[in-house]
A and B are shown apart, each in its own frame.
Chain A
Amino acid sequence: MLFNSFEFALFLPLSFLLYWFVFKKHLKAQNFFLLAISYLFYGWWDWRFLSLIAFSSLVDFIAGQQIEKSNTKARKKLFLWISICTNLGFLGFFKYFNFFTESFADMLNMVGMQTNPWSLNVILPVGISFYTFQTMSYTIDVYREQMKAEKDPIAFFAYVSFFPQLVAGPIERAVNLLPQFKIKREFSYEQGADGMRLILWGLFKKVVIADNCAIFVNEVFANYQTASGLELILGAVFFAFQIYGDFSGYSDIAIGTAKLFGFDLMTNFRTPYFSRDMAEFWRRWHISLSTWFRDYVYIPLGGSRVGKGRAVFNTFVIFVVSGFWHGANWTFIVWGALNAVYFLPLLLMGKNRKNTDTVAENRVLPNLRELWQMGSTFGLTCLAWVFFRSESVGDAWSYITRISSMNYRLNLNMRPSLFVFFCITIFVLVEWQIRNSNFAIRIKHLRVKILRYVVYFGLLLLIGLFGAFNETEFIYFQF
């Protein structure tokens, strides 16, 4: 079920009413109801893969308890590895099997051993990268004794499959989300209203910004060989807005939906395109994933508090693995490596934590220096997005080299319409306005109440007038 579908528009209010009016009295019943609707939400896409989530949850539930019960370190480790291998095994098979066999065959072909790759027609279960990482964080945290093992299977299964963030994050840590399943939840008007605002803003980002940008982006990337330099630049910039609108829109809807059910999820994006360097960008982009890799991969490897050489290696590992997490394609690996290349100079010069505040804090406009820093960071990001969006590394390289062809006419039949520019402008202005806050359209400061409603109605009208309504899947579903 997609957030931008009519099915969800029925599913959400019905679930909401049943949750608060029928199942409110008993926490267990409420959790069981959440589990049931989460499985329904996921099963709407393909019910066969429900067994994967259920199996993953079961293994981790048992592993967590056994880790806690075990007296010896070796036994604890054994159950941790059972959990990790099960989760990574599923992920490896469903997501990377064909990539590895094909790459292996290519390698043999390169050394003159002709062979055909053995590939399977494997369907990638939606959201597998998200929920496996979420559930793995639980067993790792139990192993590290950062949390107690969960005794209530319903609460645990509901945590793993919690529908708002099941298929595209935020990847919640058990320490943050699981305890919320254990306490009685009371509906708060403020939380509900914030949730609705987030859903509205997320929908705007998805159907107006992302899906409209996608129309032009698809055209440019499909015909990059005939597109002019100007069109190629525009294509990359539009893709930057598309992927941000799409993914952060999903996160906003997920966080907003969770709020309606009395849950607080972590912030996943904090206006990343206003970053002044790449280190700041990565502190603001897909925060739940980057902090996951930081806590479970980078720091165990030694992080940056090791020798320079090792720190460089660790940084490369983290970015390349992060790229590979996105998909079984060399384009994602190059995208990750390129970001590591952007990041390394800052690390080596000790400037990677230089910009930890918000740009132009307590000021309306940035100064020229900040403007230059934001512009150049955005430019570098767009360049990396070309690899992320292209079908192959060769295509991406060819795309980039064609940008410099100095041909700046408009060759393609399709052009982005004026309203897309108009909506992007509104989007950027709102984002700039809320760069200090956790989420958009927190407009309580608008004293004249009617102005709030003007904002809500304005957004709804923009969605109705300019939204692209072909129920396009969210990009991150494929990851």
Chain B
Amino acid sequence: MYKFLIKLLILLFFFVPIYIIFIGSVHLSSLDSLKANIKFKKGGNGHLFTRLKEADTIKNIDILVLGSSHAYRGIDPRVFERAGYKLFNLGSSSQSHIQTEFLVKEYLERLNPKIVLYEVYPNVFQNDGFESFIDLASNYRNPLGLWRMALKINSIPVYNTWIASLFDYAFNNSINFNEAIIKKDDIYISGGYVEKKKQMNNSIEELNSRKTEINNLQIESFESTIEFLNKKRIPTLLIQAPITSENYEHLHNRREFDNFFENYVKGDKVENYINYNNQKLPLDNSLHFYDSHHLNQDGVEVFNEFLLKSVKGYVNE
């Protein structure tokens, strides 16, 4: 028995470093065909590299936005700037609450906002956080700090990508990396926003009726984030950004989510919860959205005017 256990431990002892070095070497090489489970992608789709780089340079803002692509593609700092508010959008692609918790804890002190707008799209609650981890590990300046998150999500591609990000960090690959400001139809706007002017194609994607199943890890992180913001005495507004009405109606348990968030208001944990899908905003699918999830620039202008009115009172307090 002891011989068996010792041999197994020796095997592990040698295997773990060999595995780490192998994954790191594959990542640094150009052998793309071997990277099926190494999802590292600097820059990614949502300009997170540029956004985090900018976040490292700014301080003392009025409004901090957290959330998924509904946030960083839906809330334009220029609209708020015109009203005299300094807004920074810390959203990222499929940002789940696990990543929000991490980002808030990393950046809150520096950004020192007067108010937080926390975009809470229900589907994110069923997310395992995988996609957003990949985005963060590929673009965050110091991936060492992501070990806890990797353990929480706990999958081989997540570990592989984290190892790759450590090698990337160790070899200083970020220094020479310049992310393009314009990528296809996406334009990065200072303040963390990504602008898209495109309109919806004629072919609307097929939508499936769905029920959002809650992942407990997401609830834990969501509550931890709210608690952290409460401790720091930062007023928080939960919002649901508009998606197309067809898409929204396909979500079976949308009312349950409204009740869930409203309970945070009743419990004095957040200032307010506003679901803009229930607000009858003058938005038209073909004019104001570029897909079933995201507003285009015209839609953002309409939505942000309403959002601004709701937020004003809280910032001025």
Contact = CB atoms under 8 A, between A and B. Distances in A.
Interface of A: 6, 20, 187, 189, 192-193, 196, 417-419, 453, 456-457, 460-461, 463-467, 469
B11 A417 contact: no
Given A196-B8, A461-B19, A189 B3 contact: yes
Main secondary structure of the interface of B (DSSP, over half): helix
B36 interface: yes
Interface string B271-295: 0000000000000000000000000
B58 interface: no
A464 B160 contact: yes
Nearest to B19: A464
Interface residues of B, number: 23
Interface of B: 1, 3-4, 7-8, 11, 14-15, 18-19, 22-23, 26, 33-34, 36-38, 154-157, 160
B293 to A, nearest CB: 21
Kindly name the residue among A189, A192, A465 whose own CB sees the greatest number of chain B CB atoms within 10 A.
Answer: A465
B1 A20 contact: yes
A469 B157 contact: yes
A419 B36 contact: yes
A457 B4 contact: no
B34 A465 contact: yes
B125 to A, nearest CB: 19
Contacts of B26: 465
A417 B32 CA distance: 12
A155 B36 CA distance: 46
B18 A457 contact: yes
A467 B159 CA distance: 13
B36 A465 contact: yes
25 contacts: A187-B1, A189-B3, A189-B4, A192-B1, A196-B8, A417-B33, A417-B36, A419-B36, A457-B15, A460-B15, A460-B19, A461-B19, A463-B156, A464-B19, A464-B37, A464-B160, A465-B26, A465-B37, A465-B38, A466-B36, A466-B37, A467-B37, A467-B156, A469-B37, A469-B157
B11 A453 contact: yes
Contacts of B34: 419, 465
Kindly name the residue among B4, B37, B38, B157 whose own CB sees the greatest number of chain A CB atoms within 10 A.
Answer: B4
Nearest to B160: A464
A189 B5 CA distance: 9
B33 A418 contact: yes
Nearest to B5: A17
B266 to A, nearest CB: 34
Contact of A192 (B4, B37, B160): B4
Nearest to A24: B1
A469 B156 contact: yes
Closest 6 CB pairs of A and B: A192-B4, A469-B156, A187-B1, A469-B155, A189-B4, A466-B36
B153 to A, nearest CB: 11
Nearest to B157: A469
Contacts of A418: 33
A187 B4 contact: yes
Contacts of A456: 11
A397 B14 CA distance: 52
B148 to A, nearest CB: 16
Contacts of A193: 4, 7
A327 B60 CA distance: 63
A64 B156 CA distance: 47
Contacts of B7: 193
Given A189-B4, A196-B8, A453-B11, A461 B37 contact: no
B113 to A, nearest CB: 37
A460 B20 CA distance: 12
Nearest to A187: B1
A261 to B, nearest CB: 12
Nearest to A461: B22
B17 to A, nearest CB: 11
Given A419-B36, A460-B15, A460-B19, 6 more contacts: A192-B4, A418-B33, A419-B34, A464-B37, A465-B37, A466-B36
Contacts of A463: 156
A408 to B, nearest CB: 25
Contacts of B18: 457
A461 B23 CA distance: 9
Contacts of B156: 463-464, 467, 469
Nearest to A9: B154
B33 A464 contact: no
